[in-house]
Amino acid sequence: MLGAQLAVIGLCSILPLVVSPLSISAAPPGPKGLVGTKANPKRVQRLLISKPGVYENYVVDSAWQGGNRVKVSADNVTIRNCEIRNASGNGIGVFGTNVVIENCRIHHLLAGSFQGQRDAHGITGRWGNVTIRNCDIGLISGDCIQFDPDRRSTGRVLIEGCRLWTGTLPADAAQFKKGQRPGENAVDTKTPPGGPRAELVIRDCILHGWKQPGQIGLMAALNLKENVTASVDNCLFYDNQVAFRLRGPTRRGGAWVRVSNCAVYRTQVGVRAEDTIANLKIRRLGFAATVNRQYHTPGCDFGPGYENSGPFVPPPIEDVLRKGLK
């Protein structure tokens, strides 16, 4: 049974996997405590932040207007315990450095229609020293988090303790109908093609719902590409078409990715490695029996620097949600 679970399906040549007895204790992934507003929040349709400081306990209900509904043009800003909803534009656009977004709920950002897909992202903007912590982001027509759509910046983004998701809409909203599934990816990376690599760290997160029928033909929880170094640690993936879409060198560069101590459930493809991706390091990645295909390499090879060790059969998903991966 263990051998069947660890089998790599496909015609491409893949380096051998080594089963390791390693056990790592980890906290449960996902948000904890209060996410969203506290009592008596301030209600606005848009929040423009041009000065440093803490911006806390806002409901930004946008009446389906576009643009960046919270626009951060200052450095040294914290956005805390806010809810951003009902827009045809982005939830938060970050154009400053040293920005922290924590305990926020962002949802129902819907541009275009299900048939005429247009991007509305949960959090987007320029790479910088950005931390996104303990947030719940879902039901958006673009990506929950995308840096940098303009490909003009580099820097660091940390995403920790978040739930990044989509699903079928419970009711009609904007030009979308009940039962339609909006969105592209939980996280998407875009960078300038050269210069210093952007750095992305994703840890202790839950990513789910990125599957068909959806707005685009290939939905993935993580779409990691271009000139970025990314690490993904202690994350839970379920109900996705693709959990990890990892893309190697093109004219815009290729991602370098490290995955450790993650688990995948109820998914069509666990790891889709494209463009002969280089420097892919995988350590302790668990696939449940409900993963149809663990690895898929459309280019029929991994690039130089590929390592894969310590695969395991993960415990029931309910146990991971309560106790974390062990």
pLDDT score at 4: 33
Identify the DSSP state of 139. Answer: E
Per-residue model confidence (pLDDT) at position 3: 35
Count of domains forming the chain: 1
- Percentage of the chain beyond pLDDT 70 is 91
Backbone angles phi, psi at 319, to 5 degrees: -70, -40
Q: What is the DSSP letter of 15?
A: P
The pLDDT assigned to 26 comes to 64
Query: Is pLDDT of 23 > 60?
Result: no
**What is the rounded average pLDDT of the residues 66-90?**
98
What CATH number did the domain enclosing 87 receive? Answer: 2.160.20
Q: Which helix (H) or strand (E) holds 83?
A: strand 83-87
Please tell me what DSSP assigns to residue 13. -
Average pLDDT, the chain: 92
**Main-chain phi, psi angles of 62, to 5 degrees:** -95, 5
- Residue 68: its pLDDT value, please? 98
| Dmax (CA) of the chain | 59
Which residues have C-beta within 8 Å of that of residue 95, sequence separation ≥ 6? 71, 72, 73, 125, 126
- pLDDT at residue 189 above 70? yes
Instruction: Say what the alpha-carbon torsion angle 229, 235, 239, 245 is, to the nearest 10 degrees.
Output: 10
Distance CA 292, CA 45 (A): 44
d(CA 81, CA 58): 7
State how beta strands 236-247 and 281-287 pair.
unpaired
HSE-CB at 187 with a 13 A cutoff on CA atoms is: 28
pLDDT over 70 (residue 85): yes
Q: Is 15 exposed, middle or buried (0-12, 13-18, 19+ CB in 10 A)?
A: exposed
**CA nearest neighbour of 270 among 249, 292, 254:** 292
CA distance 60 to 5: 46
Does residue 12 carry a pLDDT above 90?
no
Range of the domain at 21: 2-323
pLDDT tens readout for residues 209-240: 999 999 999 999 999 999 999 999 999 999 99
Task: Look up residue 259 and give its amino acid.
Answer: V
Report the candidate in 199, 326, 320 with the shortest Cα–Cα distance to residue 266. 320
Dig out the tokens for 282 from the structure: 């995988």
Give dist(CA 228, CA 187) in Å, integer.
Answer: 13
Quick: pLDDT tens for 238-276.
999 999 999 999 999 999 999 999 999 999 999 999 999
Q: Is the pLDDT score of 100 beyond 50?
A: yes
- Rounded Cα distance, 115 and 68, in Å: 23
Report which residue type is found at 120.
Answer: A
Q: How confident is the model at residue 22 (pLDDT cuts 50, 70, 90)?
A: very low
CB atoms under 10 Å from CB of 322, counted, come to 10
Q: What is the DSSP string of 228-267?
A: EEEEEES-EEEEEEEEEEEE--BTTB--EEEEEEEEEEEE
- Burial group, residue 195, by CB count within 10 angstroms (0-12, 13-18, 19+): exposed
Mean pLDDT is lowest, of 6-10, 29-33, 135-139, 190-194, for 6-10
Amino acid at 11: L
Q: Is the pTM value of this prediction over 0.85?
A: yes
